[in-house]
Amino acid sequence: MEQIYNFSAGPSVLPKSVLEKLQQELLSYQGLGMSVMEMSHRSSHFEEIIKQAEQLLRELMDIPENYKVLFIQGGASLQFSMVPMNLMNKHNHAYYVNTGSWAEKAIKEAKKQGEVSILASSKDQNFTTIPSIIKSDIEPNTDYVHITTNNTIKGTRFTEIPDTGNVPLVADMSSNILSETFDISKFDLIYAGAQKNMGPAGVTVVIVREDLVGTHQEDLPAMLDYETYAKAGSIYNTPPTFQIYVTKLVLEWIKDLGGIEAIEKMNHDKASLLYHYIDQSPLFSNHVEEESRSLMNIPFTTDSEELDQEFLKLAESKGLISLKGHRSTGGMRASLYNAMPLEGVQTLIDFMKEFEAKHQ
Ligand code: PMP
């Protein structure tokens, strides 16, 4: 089979060894004569899987004991609603930092639950930078501050986690969880859809300080209440069993590679290689301010729609797939998640050089 490098922003590339293990175990998991998809979520086998997934995540991310780890369905988009439903309880107010489309979607949902103030925004800069957050702008009579640690569409990331003092900090970490080390104690709630750095679409991880669980608005439906998941070890109803299993395998893969510190180094190497090439290229450019550049999602363009189209078409014919930029921005975007090997980035750069030489 031709070598394919998949630069999709999500769902995205998974480690090959994980896929091979899944293939081996698909018909009979641990000699049981059935796959993980077919077993009861209340079986001891699945209980062991979910327990291990949680333990691995705790170990890799160094999650303090006073945080709950929850596995929820509905994607990061459901968290746009669940966060305010559960946390906007004392002041009916929260601050949001607007760094792009996903933050805007989170803001839109939060406004349905209470009052929202924009603490900082990079909208005027077309979201090509991360705005500065001034601690003294945060009034204490608020429920939380919400940030998006990595902005998948525009390719920006927070390189410094803001200090919000006693006000809880909530983060949408969907597109850079497990890609670099974070001090979890700086956050009070983190959520992330699995389909970029953790596993397949269908499971969302929520890491929440335990004293924030159970303080929600009145009459919250059980499935929208963090407490339901916390009390039942995420097995209140049928969880996305196979997705949790694949996530466990991805976490084992990260551990075997040396943990998040090792992955972070690889991610810096991969991203620097591509940024370095783009920055000196007379043809391609990346419009993100240098200090705010993402390690995971790198948008680039020739600044000609026609050439971008030609590039995408040719790239695909060479096995470099899903490089099309988000429909709102156009151009190209290379997503270099954990499972993208260095050779993939090198192959992309070689192809870009070839394309550049032909279009000088
Ligand atoms: N937040 C961010 C930063 C994202 O990149 C995405 C998906 N691309 C979402 C939220 C929405 O995630 P989901 O599709 O899992 O609801």
pLDDT in tens, 133-147: 999 999 999 999 999
Residues with catalytic roles = 102, 172, 196
Instruction: Name residue 146's beta-bridge partners.
Output: 96, 170
Angle at 295 between CA 287 and CA 352, to 5 degrees: 60
Q: Is 75 in the pocket of ligand 1 (CB under 6 A)?
A: yes
Q: Is 76 in the pocket of ligand 1 (CB under 6 A)?
A: yes
The Å distance, Cα 38 to ligand 1 centre, comes to 28
- Identify the CA nearest to 12 among candidates 262, 307, 344, 277: 344
Domains of the chain: 5-12+258-358 (3.90.1150.10), 17-256 (3.40.640.10)
pLDDT band at 121 (very low <50, low <70, confident <90, very high): very high
Query: In this predicted complex, what is the ipTM?
Result: 0.99
pLDDT band at 360 (very low <50, low <70, confident <90, very high): confident
Q: How crowded is residue 45: how many other Cβ atoms within 10 Å of its Cβ?
A: 14
pTM (whole model) above 0.90: yes
CA distance 106 to 64: 26
Instruction: Name residue 206's beta-bridge partners.
Output: 70, 191
What mean pLDDT comes out for the span 146-162? 98
Structural tokens at position 185? 């104690």
Structural tokens at position 230? 């916390």
Angle at 304 between CA 301 and CA 306, to 5 degrees: 110
HEC states along 9-68?
CCCCCCCHHHHHHHHHHCCCHHHCCCCHHHCCCCCHHHHHHHHHHHHHHHHHHCCCCCEE
Residue 2 has pLDDT above 90, yes or no: no
Ligand 1 atom nearest residue 204's Cα: 15
Residue 264 backbone phi and psi in degrees, to 5: -60, -40
